[in-house]
Amino acid sequence: MGLLATLDRFVHATRLDFMTPYADRRPRNLRWLPLLVLAAMIVGYVLLVGTIRGAAWSWQVGITGSLIFVLAVIAAHLIRLFGPRVVVDRNGPLDERELMLNARAGSLSGTILTVVVVAGCFYASFAVVLGTWLPATPIEWAFLGVVVEAGAFVLPVLTASWLQPPLDDEE
C-alpha cells in the first residue's frame, strides 16, 4: 500500500473526508458557535491592537491575542462547511427551502453587516472629536478589514442556523 492510499485511509478513518467532494456532508444548525467565533475574533483583535500600540500588558498577551485572532479567522472561513447548506456542493443544487433560507440569511446578514459598518463610519467620524480609540496604523486597518471579511462569512451561517427549526436526530 502506497503513501497516498495510507493517507486516504487515515482521512476516512478520522472522518475528515466530509471536507472533500467525495463524501456527503451533513448540515447542522450552528446556533452558538458562530457567535463564539465572532467574540473570539473581537477579543483577539483588541488584544493584538493593544499590544501593537504598546499597552501595559506583556508581550505574551499580544501573542495570545494574535493566536486567538488567527484561529478565529480560520474558523470563520471553515464554519460554512459545518453549518446549514447555504452554498451549492456535491449533493446537487439547493432545493426551494434551501434557496429561500439562503436568500433570507444572505439578506439579513448583509443588512446586519451594513448597519455595523455604517455605525463604524459614524463612530470614526466622532472618534477624532471625542478623542476615543480609532485605528491609527495601516496594520490596524488591515486587521479590521479581516474582521469585517470574516464576519461576512460567519453571519450567513449564523442567521441561517437561527432561521430554521432544529434538525431531527434522523436528519
User: What pLDDT does 26 receive?
Assistant: 61
Between CA 92 and CA 82 the distance in angstroms is 17
Helices (runs of H) and strands (runs of E) counted in the chain: 5, 0
State the pLDDT at residue 58: 78
Mean pLDDT by 10 residues, the chain (171 residues): 84 71 64 90 91 79 91 90 65 74 86 94 91 89 93 89 70 50
For every residue of 15-82, DSSP letters joined together read TGGGGSTTS-------SSHHHHHHHHHHHHHHHHHHHHTT-SS-HHHHHHHHHHHHHHHHHHHHHHHH
Nearest to 106 by CA among 121, 84, 90: 84
